[in-house]
Structures are given as C-alpha cells and as structure tokens.
Amino acid sequence: MDLNINTNTIIDQLNKNNFLPGLYVVSTPIGNLADISIRSLSILSLSSLILCEDTRTSKKLTIKYGIKSTLKSFHKFNSTREIPGILSKLKDGLTISLISDAGTPLISDPGEELVKKCIEENIPIYSIPGASAVLGSIVVSGIDNSSFTFLGFAPQTNKLKEAFFERIEYSKETIVFFESPKRLKKCLKNLIDHFPNRKIAIIRELTKKNEEIVRGIPKEVYFEFNSRESIKGEITVIIECGSLDKKSIFNKEEIIALINLYKENKKDKEIVKLLSEKLNLPKRNIYQLVIDNK
C-alpha cells in the first residue's frame, strides 16, 4: 500500500531542528532497506562523514534514499589507524555517523574502541536505535525472552568451543548467538551432543526475501538442514535456558549404578546416548561419569 509519504520533506523538517555535532551511532536495516527510521535518514544526510564497514554495501542504502554524505571504510583491520583522524574531525565540530553493514553498530561489529576514545576526549556520542538481529530473532523464536544472554559469534577453535558450550550449559537464561551458514550443521551436531532436549530456534535471513525460522529440539532442526547441499544467509541461534538439563530424578550415585548395570551388555557410547535421553541430561555429563567410573 502506498502511503504517499515524501521522505525528503520529512527529513528537511527534521533538519530544521537543533542538530548537535558529535558521533552518531546509527542503526541500519538488517535486510529489508525499508526498516530504517526517518531520524536515522536525517542524521545520515546531515553527516559530514559516514563510517561504514564496506562502502559497496552501504552505498545501496545511501543511493536508495538520496544521501550524499561521504562514505569511508572503517573496520577491524584499519580502525586503529583511522581513529586519530576521526577524533580530530570530531573535535573540529564535524558530525560523523558510524554504521555497520547491517543492524546496530558495535554488536559483534567494529566501533567499540572509537566510542571509548570519544568518551575519553569528552566528545558527544548519540545513539540512533533501530534494527537488531538479536532482538528481531528472539521475539519470533517462541522461546522465553524475559531474560537472555547474547554471546556474539560462536568460536571456531576446539578449546574455545568447550568453554562456549559450558557457559551455555550452566546458563539460567535464554542464549542468543550468531553462526556462519557454513558451520551451521556442525554447530547443530554439537547442540545435539550437549543439549539434546532443549528447544532451539534457527532464524535465517531475517527481514529478507528468503526469511526462515526453524524450531524444535536440536535433532529435529539438524534433520531439517542436513539434507540441504548449501545453506546461505545470516543466521541467529536461540537456545532455551539450561534449567531443563539440570532436572533429574536420579542423583550421581544412582546414575553410576545405572552405568554399571548397562556396562554388562552395552558399549560406553551406547550408555551415554541412552542415559542422556532417559535422564534428560547432557551427553558430556554422562560421559564424564562413565570415564570417572572406569
């Protein structure tokens, strides 16, 4: 439906209001370019400089809305070198906006060091809120959103992965993190091993044409994605809190007794799988008791 809104006229009206120089942290769409506020467009159009991760990506937004401000690459590989010059411009009274390729800047994106330096130099910083993959995903996940922890991107090294999954295991809050589409299947296998009975949701390509939400326990979700030759897009993983994994009608001594009972005719791997499913406990917990009881 065409609401016949003249965006440029609204921006012009906003521009007539008092506008203070400083660093503006501006949220941009995470997919659909229509998901941006009029205030964000106004700030970007008034900025002397827009710092962005990739000028090619940000140009799609600025061209669509007729924003003429200069774009400059600002990412983790050049931020240390660029910050002194940016601070100098801000001290001269220029207005500079910081955006990311998608969503809210600084959330798993560069910019934290620049904000810290601005605070040290008493340079004003303004937040222009908007789209966020974290919040946008959790509200459609069907998983409790009253309290949650965001863990950024899932680590790749085995040592960090263990600490990562251990943190999830003992969390009493819903967990949210980002994952690469290339590593999604492997991630789901890890979730099956560690949290076989927790509800999870995979949100892919949020707000875009191919938006997809897959909900269920890890095994069900893995089955959905495993048959695909390739998986593409931005992915957010939601995992329900760990309280369910801690509930068991059996104490440690009783579980060890069950392990010894099953050892008569089953292999360790079979025991771990069986007891994990029956007792609603992570496989790693059962496996550790099997090892300790050798």
- pLDDT value of position 4: 45
Cα–Cα distance between 251 and 271 in angstroms, integer? 17
Confidence of residue 3 (pLDDT cuts 50, 70, 90): very low
* Predicted TM-score (pTM) above 0.85: no
Q: Which of 281, 199, 184 has its CA nearest to residue 240?
A: 199
Dihedral angle at the C-alpha atoms of 29, 30, 33, 36, nearest 10 degrees?
Answer: -20
Confidence of residue 166 (pLDDT cuts 50, 70, 90): confident
Q: Looking at the predicted structure, is the pLDDT value of residue 172 above 60?
A: yes
**What is the tens place of the pLDDT at every residue in 241-256?**
875 444 455 677 888 8
User: Which burial class, exposed, middle or buried, applies to 245 when counting CB atoms under 10 A from its CB (0-12, 13-18, 19+)?
Assistant: buried
Length of the chain: 294
Cα–Cα distance between 46 and 65 in angstroms, integer? 13
Confidence of residue 150 (pLDDT cuts 50, 70, 90): very high
- pLDDT value of position 7: 54
- pLDDT value of position 1: 36
**What is the tens place of the pLDDT at every residue in 120-140?**
999 999 999 999 999 999 999
Strands 200-204 and 235-239, bridge-based pairing:
antiparallel
Tokens (6 digits) for 165: 């999954």
Helices (H), ranges, the chain: 7-15, 38-46, 55-64, 79-91, 112-120, 133-138, 158-169, 184-194, 218-226, 243-246, 252-262, 268-279, 283-292
Cα–Cα distance between 27 and 130 in angstroms, integer? 5
Cα–Cα distance between 114 and 186 in angstroms, integer? 35
Cα–Cα distance between 105 and 131 in angstroms, integer? 10
- pLDDT value of position 35: 96
Cα–Cα distance between 236 and 215 in angstroms, integer? 12
- CA distances in angstroms from 225 to 31, 155, 183, 189, 201, listed in the order given: 22, 21, 11, 11, 12
267 half-sphere exposure, CB direction, 13 A CA radius: 2
b/e 109-134 (16+ beta carbons within 10 angstroms → b): bbbeebbebbeeeebeeeebebbbbb
The 8-class DSSP code of residue 28 comes to B
Cα–Cα distance between 103 and 36 in angstroms, integer? 10
Can you spell out the DSSP letters for 222-266? HHHHHT-S---S-EEEEE--THHHH--SS-HHHHHHHHHHHTTT-
